[in-house]
Structure 1
Amino acid sequence: MARPPRYDTSLLLDAAVRLAAEGGPAAVTMAAVAKAVGAPSGSVYHRFPSRSALMAEVWLRTVERFQEGYVAVLTASGDPGQAAVAASRHVVAWSRTHREETALLLHGPEAFGRGAWSPEQAERADAGNRRLFGRIAALAAELGARHPAQTERVALALVDLPLALVRRHVRGGGLLPAHAEQLAADSTALLLSDL
């Protein structure tokens, strides 16, 4: 029976997340990941044939984890207003408990070499985004958005507003204040109150 690999993919991706959170995407190199886990560089190349493949996978795993929880919150309530407020709150709560991943995501996929990803990796990213923004569009319709300005208001309330709150604190190196979830929820509810 073959023994399990000592340096599995999750361990390597966890190290890449830490490196990106501390030093930005440029800090994520094959050698740096290997050093972070005490592995020979061959262990990293065995799982990721190139730095581009590594960068894609660290981005995709992180964004997919966020999107999974976010979409679950968007679909959990039968009341679209409650779902919208819960989604805004979720962005802040997830960011609070996943500080390194949040710091990574705030760089955006382009900083992780999106243009050099394989077609399969690019399609994974696109499929996740289609699912997420499709659900937001459906929620906007459920909320009564009929015009582009109303749909834009829903996107602002569910995406831009909570991200701006998170970005200001995370990029500044500080902690999210205790009232951040409530502030996001209240602001979202207010923006959507006249749809």
Structure 2
Amino acid sequence: MPRPRTHDLEHLMDVTESLAVDHGPAAITVRALSESTGMSNGAIYHAFGSRSGLVGHVWVRAAHRFLQTQRAAVDAAFADAEGGSEGALGAIVAAADAPAQFLLDAPTSGRFLLSVRRADLLGAADIPAETAAALGDLDRVLVELFVRLARSLWDRADASAVDAVRDCVVELPAALLLRGRREPDAAVRARLAAAVRAVAVIEPPAPTVGAGSSQTQTKGRR
């Protein structure tokens, strides 16, 4: 069976996102996708291996789009600043604000990432190994960003510093924006920025004796 054309696959993934956002992840079935796109069941399975392979591929696509938005925001914050701690703080705020910006720029992809849990995909028995590896590799990309931000603000890359950045970039946006499914309006984004700055100005505790292995492990992920 010939592989479907690239634009057909992109359309199929767009429809997958829309189904999940409009009707919930359970609405993503090969039959529903076939009826919506005109692509045969066999062509879908041939391209992605399984339903989980398709949904995982769509998740990776959306995540990479988000990471591009986040990386561009961080780079712009560093470029606009004159360096020093204020530039680093601005970059951390920009990284934390990226989910809100992505929801505005690509609402369907943004909502898809909130609708489908990556952990469920990784736990699926029928997900292709290549797709599972791509999902897992997203952690490495995020850790590299956390290390970059921790080094820029505190000149550190130990586990405590990286965890503090993660609190700012992942946990605070999740608590103030994502879990509540709030609209990313100016007021919400302003509160998020204020919360991130309040946390980021507190340098995390220095590594304790015996924590060197964690510090080395974190540095090795850069």
Structure with bigger RCO (C-alpha 8 Å, 6+ apart): 1
Larger radius of gyration: 2
Which residue does 1:101 correspond to in 2? 109
Which residue does 1:153 correspond to in 2? 164
Distance 1:54 1:26, change over 3 A: same
Identity of aligned residues (%): 28
Residues 117-126 or 7-16, more deviating? 117-126
User: For 1:19 and 1:123, how far apart are their aligned partners in 2?
Assistant: 25
Residues 9-18 or 57-66, more deviating? 57-66
User: For 2:73 and 2:138, how far apart are their aligned partners in 1?
Assistant: 15
Are residue 120 (structure 1) and residue 130 (structure 2) matched?
A: yes
Residues 105-114 or 79-88, more deviating? 105-114
Residues 149-158 or 34-43, more deviating? 34-43
What is the count of residue pairs matched by the alignment?
189
User: For 1:67 and 1:186, how far apart are their aligned partners in 2?
Assistant: 22
Task: Report if aligned partners of 1:88, 1:157 keep a CA contact under 8 Å in 2.
Answer: yes
CA-CA distance at 1:9 after TM superposition = 0.5
Which residue does 2:34 correspond to in 1? 34
Q: Secondary structure at the match of 2:186?
A: coil
CA-CA distance at 1:145 after TM superposition = 6.8
TM-score w.r.t. structure 2 length? 0.73
Deviation per CA, 1:118-143, whole angstroms, max 9, x where unpaired?
22212222223202222212211321
Which residue does 1:176 correspond to in 2? 184
Which one-letter code corresponds to 2:101 in the other structure? A
Deviation per CA, 1:60-90, whole angstroms, max 9, x where unpaired?
1111111122123234415321111111122
Which residue does 2:47 correspond to in 1? 47
Which one-letter code corresponds to 1:131 in the other structure? V
Which one-letter code corresponds to 1:112 in the other structure? L
Task: Report if aligned partners of 2:34, 2:41 keep a CA contact under 8 Å in 1.
Answer: yes
2:141 paired residue among 119, 128, 131: 131
Which one-letter code corresponds to 2:175 in the other structure? A
Which residue does 1:71 correspond to in 2? 71
Which one-letter code corresponds to 2:149 in the other structure? L
Q: Which runs of 5+ in 2 are unaligned?
A: 204-222
Are residue 141 (structure 1) and residue 127 (structure 2) matched?
A: no
CA-CA distance at 1:6 after TM superposition = 9.6
Distance 1:89 1:34, change over 3 A: same
CA RMSD of aligned residues (A): 2.6
Which residue does 2:208 correspond to in 1? none
Which residue does 2:21 correspond to in 1? 21
CA-CA distance at 1:52 after TM superposition = 2.1
User: For 1:100 and 1:111, how far apart are their aligned partners in 2?
Assistant: 20
Distance 1:145 1:188, change over 3 A: farther
CA-CA distance at 1:188 after TM superposition = 0.9
CA-CA distance at 1:5 after TM superposition = 4.5
CA-CA distance at 1:93 after TM superposition = 1.4
Which residue does 2:194 correspond to in 1? 186
Task: Report if aligned partners of 1:7, 1:39 keep a CA contact under 8 Å in 2.
Answer: no
Which residue does 2:216 correspond to in 1? none
User: For 2:6 and 2:57, how far apart are their aligned partners in 1?
Assistant: 19
